[in-house]
Chain A
Amino acid sequence: MTDNFAEPTFNIPAAILGWLLPGAGHWKVGEKARGMLVLLGVGGLFLLGVLVGGVDCVDRREDGMWFIAQAGAGGLAFATDELNTAVLKSGRVGELLPLAVQSGTVMVSSFKGAGPANEIGTLLCGLAGMMNVIAVLDVLYRPCSGAKKGAVE
């Protein structure tokens, strides 16, 4: 008895590339237009989130649960988190102000967001991360564009 089902091929390098930079995985397998559209969608959503909420809306130490979703956008999320640490939390931009908390006093940036803008920005960046996970899963099973033409026919 023969089996007609083809073994699924996992395109792991393309998936890793697609996670690091949204759309790069599709670009690697020859789907350049698709890759650009994924970059436009995921990158646009992420940038909109950072524009609305500021870089503080991506913070893997203070908003760890949200960062799990945001980390789906890979390089974008980690770079924004690093930017937040290097620019805002260090006090390089804005000023560090004392904030009384239960365990004492902590220093927070005067640019730190605490209102709806920060919440919406966090949500939009999280959505971008989850959309990129879908794109990464797609490219994981996507054969190179030359091989796909034969498979479709």
Chain B
Amino acid sequence: MILQAAYIPFLQPMPTVAQWWWLLLIPACAAISVTWKAVRLDTLEHFWRETITMTVHSVLAMAALAAALMVLLRVVIPMLPMP
């Protein structure tokens, strides 16, 4: 029997990610927004405001897409006539 050792960060895959993987959307969108705005803005005067706005827009857009897909799969497709 192989005993699972305690989790070692950066060496082993993080346990229990399968339960909350969708929450990783938020830091991923935040990091992408930081990089994108760092490159695209002419001045960094309103950097954080712009970054937070882009992060919120991205997360909301992905959530809306997920909701639309759920409606399609659970409502629209079951209503289609079966061949």
Contacts and interface: CB of A to CB of B under 8 A. Distances in A.
A44 B38 contact: no
Interface residues of B, number: 28
Interface of B: 2, 5, 8-15, 17-18, 21, 24, 27-28, 31-39, 42, 44, 47
Given A34-B38, A37-B44, A135-B35, A45 B13 contact: no
A41 B44 contact: no
Interface residues of A, number: 42
Closest 7 CB pairs of A and B: A41-B35, A113-B13, A117-B13, A37-B38, A41-B34, A45-B31, A117-B17
Residue among B2, B5, B28, B42 with max Cβ neighbours from chain A (10 Å): B28
A34 B12 contact: no
Interface of A: 26, 33-34, 37-38, 40-42, 44-45, 48, 50-57, 87-88, 93-94, 97, 110-111, 113, 115-118, 120-121, 124, 127-128, 131-132, 134-135, 138, 152
